[in-house]
Amino acid sequence: AARLPPRTFRSYLPRSHRTYSCVHCRAHLARHEELISKSFQGSHGRAYLFNSVVNVGCGPAEQRLLLTGLHSVADIFCQSCKTTLGWKYEQAFESSQKYKEGKFIIEMSHMVKENGWD
C-alpha cells in the first residue's frame, strides 16, 4: 500500500469569538481575547502582541537586536500558506522585557479581523 503524505489540519476558532485571520489565505490565527498589546513594531510596520496563536509554524531561534534590546526570537509563518507573519519571543535578555517570552508578534499587514467586530 502506498503511503499518503501527512495532512495538515487547520485549527478553527469558534465563530462566536472575534478572531484575527491570515489576510492571504484566511486561516485563523488568534482570538481577540489573546491580544496583549497593539503598540508593537514589526519588521515592516505596526504589529500586535498575542499570548497564544493557532495555525502557525515556528522557524529556528536566533538572536536579534530589536528596538527594546537583545532578544532570542523565531520567525513564525502561516501553516496554511507559508507566509512569514512575525515572530515568537523565545528569550529576553533584559529583565524589563521578560514578559514577552513565549509570546507572539503578528504584523498588522498580514492579519484581517473576522467574526462580529461591528
pLDDT at 46: 96
- Say if 1 falls within a structural domain: no
- Say if 52 falls within a structural domain: yes
- Say if 21 falls within a structural domain: yes
- Say if 58 falls within a structural domain: yes
Q: Which residues of 31-56 are buried (b: 16+ CB within 10 A; e: fewer)?
A: beebeeeeebebeeeebbbbeebbbb
* pLDDT: which is higher, 30 or 116: 30
pTM value? 0.86
Residue 22 sits in a domain whose CATH number is 2.170.150.20
Number of domains in the chain: 1
- Say if 3 falls within a structural domain: no
- Say if 39 falls within a structural domain: yes
Three-class secondary structure of residue 113 per DSSP = strand
- Over the stretch 44-103, which tens digit does the pLDDT of each residue have? 999 999 999 999 999 999 999 998 999 999 999 999 999 999 999 999 999 999 999 999
Q: Residue 2 — pLDDT band, cuts 50, 70, 90?
A: low
Provide the domain limits for residue 97.
17-112
- Say if 98 falls within a structural domain: yes
